């Protein structure tokens, strides 16, 4: 049972004001944080709202009608998101993931995608534009997303059994509609689709083999995500985490699998392939096998706060900078200075005895973007 907490957003959209160095330098991609990590990926949360109430992310008891969702003027506009993305691209960001909340609930999202598709990396290449969705309105949106220039899509689906899936989404949403959304994405020409399954021990782990069987040989990569202690509202405890190693062992018993090389340094998922050559699967083991040492991701919340870690409890208020008279160069320098000071490595210290992590209020995933 999740304990009801007073629903106040952590920083009420007012993170630390980023500092702009006195001496400005030209934007460049060489900035490293205090642990030597460059800035290469940006996740942008385009809405803090969602039509699902996944128990591990937006539990009903807390995200009810009294929850203080952001109002429209608090959200970054498409123009502000595109400006910020252009600045981040000038600093070496090559990959953009739109997320939320449920990103497809943001009105006219395809207009934003069209704007982002025009932005170039420091190497003069289009950015790798991708989006994570619960798939609920994908049938309606797939063609527009493709036409706007979205490259890749990840769909979340936590099981194939309706009762179990409904227990996870907590709004009675049927599996067939998500599967139909996936089919729609394939029909309009999306390839390399990924499906994310959060595994909560004792709730949906009995769906692991059915999911593997369903997506094996389909060309879609299924990825198993360890249930994480993001936010402060999902009642997380370690006993509900099924370590990826155990998930892999269960699959291996039925369908033999073997590990393969990462596509690039910093790839979040560990890649495995079916020995019979019928495709690959992935594991995102944020709890049991941390990957902070190569984490090159920054996150922009729905209201323009820059977060340096999924588990940060405070952001940097770039919305105020964007709405001031500051130039792109000044904002770029503020991002570089902020990144240079980044120390975050939460997953590595989660299990540490030297730090008391209990009672730290972390920001909600629906606000910061998963």
Residues that bind ligand SF4 (CB under 6 A): 50, 52-54, 57-58, 100-102, 134, 156, 291-292, 295, 297, 309-311, 344-347, 366
Dihedral-angle region of residue 157 (phi above 0 means left; psi in -120 to 50 means alpha; beta otherwise): beta
Closest CB to ligand SAM among 56 and 339? 56
Which one of residues 134, 270, 305, 333 is an interface residue with ligand SAM (CB under 6 A)? 134
Quick one: 31 or 305, whose CB is closer to ligand SAM?
305
Q: Which is nearer to ligand SAM, 234 or 296 (CB)?
A: 234
Least spacing, CB of residue 347 vs ligand SF4, in Å: 4
Closest CA relative to residue 156, chosen from 204, 109, 202 = 204
CB of 349 to ligand SAM, least distance (A): 18
In the block, which residue shows the tokens 């910093």?
A: 266
CB of 287 to ligand SAM, least distance (A): 9
Q: Which is nearer to ligand SF4, 85 or 169 (CB)?
A: 169
Restricted to residues 191-250, the positions that interact with ligand SAM (CB under 6 A) are 196, 198, 225, 227-228, 230, 234
Residue closer to ligand SF4 (CB basis): 339 or 346? 346
Are 305 and 80 contacting, i.e. CB atoms less than 8 angstroms apart? no
Side-chain half-sphere exposure of 138, counting CA atoms within 13 A: 27
**Nearest-approach distance from CB 250 to ligand SF4, in angstroms:** 23
What track of x and - describes contact with ligand SAM for positions 90 through 129 (by CB under 6 A)?
Answer: ---------xx-x---------------------------
Contacting residues for 13 by C-beta, under 8 A, at least 6 apart: 70, 74, 301, 303, 304, 305, 317, 319
Contacts 24+ apart (CB under 8 A), 355-362: 360/313, 361/10, 361/232, 361/313, 362/10, 362/229, 362/230, 362/231, 362/232, 362/311, 362/312, 362/313
Q: Is residue 365 part of the contact set for ligand SAM (CB under 6 A)?
A: yes
CA-based nearest residue to 59, from 134, 135, 4, 137: 4
Between 102 and 226, whose beta carbon lies closer to ligand SF4?
102
CB of residue 285 vs ligand SF4: minimum separation in angstroms? 11
Number of residues located near ligand SAM, criterion CB under 6 A: 20
Q: Which two tokens stand for residue 310?
A: 């999924």
Instruction: Kindly identify the residues of this chain, within the stretch 38-67, that bind ligand SAM according to CB under 6 A.
Output: 50, 56-57
Q: From the CB of 115, what's the least distance to ligand SAM, in Å?
A: 20
Give the pair of three-digit tokens for residue 40. Answer: 């290469």
Partner from ligand SAM, ligand SF4, none contacting 233, C-beta within 5 to 8 A by type: none
The DSSP call for residue 173 is: -
Give the up-direction half-sphere exposure of residue 205: CA atoms within 13 A in the CB hemisphere: 17
Q: Does residue 156 bind ligand SAM (CB under 6 A)? A: yes
Q: Which residues, listed in sequence order, are joined to residue 274 by a DSSP beta bridge?
A: 257
Q: Which two tokens stand for residue 235?
A: 């009642």
Could you tell me the smallest distance in angstroms from the CB atom of residue 360 to ligand SF4? 13
Sheet arrangement for strand 152-156 = 257-259, 270-274, 280-284, 221-226, 194-199, 152-156, 128-133, 95-99, 41-45, 297-300, 305-307, 316-317
Q: How far is the CB of 325 from ligand SF4 (least distance, A)?
A: 32
Distance, in Å, from the CA atom of 79 to the CA atom of 75, rounded to the nearest integer, reads 11
Residues binding ligand SAM (CB under 6 A) = 50, 56-57, 99-100, 102, 132-134, 156, 196, 198, 225, 227-228, 230, 234, 365-366, 370
């Amino acid at each position: 049972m999740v304990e009801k907490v007073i629903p106040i957003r952590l920083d009420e959209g007012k993170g630390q004001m980023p500092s702009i160095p006195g001496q400005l330098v030209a934007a460049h991609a060489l900035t490293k944080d205090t642990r030597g990590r460059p800035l290469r990926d940006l996740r942008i949360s385009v809405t803090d709202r969602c039509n699902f109430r996944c128990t591990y992310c937006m539990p009903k008891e807390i995200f009810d009608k009294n929850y203080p969702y952001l109002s429209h003027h608090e959200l970054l506009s498409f123009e502000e998101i595109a400006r910020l993305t252009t600045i981040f691209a000038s600093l070496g960001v090559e990959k953009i993931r739109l997320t939320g909340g449920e990103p497809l609930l943001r009105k006219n999202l395809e207009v934003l995608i069209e704007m982002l598709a025009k932005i170039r990396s420091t190497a003069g290449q289009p950015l790798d534009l991708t989006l994570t969705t619960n798939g609920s309105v994908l049938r309606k949106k797939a063609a527009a997303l493709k036409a706007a220039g979205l490259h890749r899509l990840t769909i979340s689906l936590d099981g194939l059994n309706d009762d179990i899936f409904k227990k996870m989404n907590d709004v009675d949403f049927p599996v067939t509609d998500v599967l139909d959304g996936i089919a729609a994405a394939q029909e309009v020409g999306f390839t390399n689709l990924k499906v994310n399954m959060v595994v909560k021990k004792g709730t949906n782990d009995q769906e692991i083999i059915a999911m593997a069987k369903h997506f094996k040989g389909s060309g879609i990569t299924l990825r198993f995500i360890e249930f994480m202690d993001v936010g402060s509202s999902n009642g997380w405890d370690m006993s509900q985490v099924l370590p990826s190693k155990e998930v892999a062992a269960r699959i291996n018993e039925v369908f033999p699998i073997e590990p393969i090389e990462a596509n690039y340094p910093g790839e979040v998922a560990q890649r495995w392939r079916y020995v019979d050559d019928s495709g690959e699967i992935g594991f995102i083991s944020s709890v049991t096998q941390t990957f902070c040492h190569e984490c090159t991701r920054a996150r922009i919340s729905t209201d323009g706060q820059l977060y340096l870690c999924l588990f940060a409890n405070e952001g940097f208020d770039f919305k105020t900078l964007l709405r001031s008279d500051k130039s792109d160069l000044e904002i770029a320098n503020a991002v570089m200075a902020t990144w240079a000071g980044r120390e975050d490595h939460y997953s590595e210290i989660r299990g540490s005895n030297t730090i008391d992590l209990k009672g730290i209020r972390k920001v909600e995933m629906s606000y910061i973007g998963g």
